[in-house]
Amino acid sequence: MRAVMFFGPGRIELVDVPRPAAGPGEVLVRIGAALTCATDFKAYRQGHPVLLGELPAPFGHELAGTVEEIGEGTAGFATGMRVVAANSAPCDRCPYCKKGQSQLCDELKLHNGAYAEYSLVPAQIVKHNLYPIPSRLTFQEAALAEPLACALHAVDAMRVEAGERAAIVGAGTMALLLIQALKARGARVLVVGRNPGRLARAEAAGADRTLSAEDGTWAAQAREWAGGIGPDVAFEAVGKAETWQQAAGLVRKGGRVCLAGGCATGTSVALDAHRVHYEQIEIHGVFHHTPKYFGQAVDLLSLGRVRTSLLVASSIQLDEVPAYFERMRDESSPKVAVIP
């Protein structure tokens, strides 16, 4: 089969590799669509030892497709079934899994290889995070379940309630998913970003108010919008020290700050200690997803409750993937669907 492999930073190639066979508990999926993700671009530029493991490594992690082959002892699936798989699953045995924080699992089973004709879904993921999808959901819509699960996790971790005012710093794909997760909970949503096209998409995704970060008064306007005291909760959806600080500076006294964007390794961020102590703001890092949120994401997508058309810009073929990554390496482009 043809598969895009990662050979090192800046080096991916479409190569021929043996088509895997499904062993016990595994499911072989014929890829219907894979989606590009900012994490893949980060890995492309810098490498990603945790995510990709030994090189050359299979590449891409958001996928949906059709069951081609089922390993021994795998219940609940049949060949020809349309499915979506998450890119990870917890071990159920480590101290973090036992404490109910399975996103921090010591043995988190990560899976890559979405940019290929077939993907062999590991038994641990089949057990926790492989779901049938309804026929009216396209493969590229279904493949949004993984990033959506991250957004649902972030919003749930912040205990957002109906009527609360939420701000999002950043207007990329993560922001579009957070907007929809927040609106589903009845929050009012404001988005701050630089790119006018992205701010327009944020409005189309349901944001009640957008502000340009180029406007020096945006922070004051955001405070004004949130009852003159500042938002109850702020989400950082960029992954830079500067935007982490902006999110922490924005919330009202007693507000919650969700740092959803991961910064580069070695980044330190200075926080205003006065805000943390005397104004009792809560700082939360929220990482990845758990099977609970992946299941919720599949449900929301299946029910047609997500404006998916805003999230995937266009599609390319498998053989176009290496050139596409080279061309877009420094831009945080919207998602494209890779169709084998």
Residues contributing to the site for Zn ion (CB under 5 A): 37, 39, 90-91, 94, 97, 105
In the complex, minimum distance from the CB of residue 25 to Zn ion, in angstroms, rounded to a whole number: 17
Q: Is 148 strand, coil or helix?
A: helix
Nearer to Zn ion, 112 or 243 (CB): 112
For Zn ion, the closer CB: 37 or 336:
37
Sign, CA torsion 322/323/325/329: positive
Closer CB to Zn ion, 22 or 63, in the complex = 63
Give the shortest CB-144-to-Zn ion separation in angstroms: 9
Q: Which is nearer to Zn ion, 27 or 37 (CB)?
A: 37
Name the minimum Å distance from CB 228 to Zn ion.
37
Q: How far is the CB of 40 from Zn ion (least distance, A)?
A: 7
Residue 140 neighbours by CB under 8 Å, 6+ apart: 32, 33, 35, 64, 308, 312, 315, 337, 339
CA 313, CA 338: separation in Å to the nearest integer? 11
Residue 281 or 298 with smaller CB distance to Zn ion: 298
Closest CA to 170 of 246, 71, 236, 220: 236
CB 293, CB 153: distance < 8 Å:
yes
Among residues 172, 166, 140, which one has the least CA distance to residue 154?
166
Q: What are phi and psi of 266, to 5 degrees?
A: 90, 0
Residue from 168, 193, 155, 124 nearest 293 by CA: 155
Mapping DSSP to helix (H, G, I), strand (E, B) and coil, where does residue 267 land?
coil
Q: Smaller CB distance to Zn ion: residue 105 or 154?
A: 105
**Shortest CB 77 distance to Zn ion, Å:** 23
Residue 96 or residue 225: which is nearer to Zn ion going by CB? Answer: 96
From the CB of 246, what's the least distance to Zn ion, in Å?
Answer: 24
**Minimal distance in Å, beta carbon 4 to Zn ion?**
15
Q: How far apart are CA 263 and CA 259, in angstroms?
A: 10
- Rounded CA-CA distance 50/336 in Å is 24
CB-based contact 221:211 (threshold 8 Å) = yes
Please name the amino acid found at residue 302. Answer: S
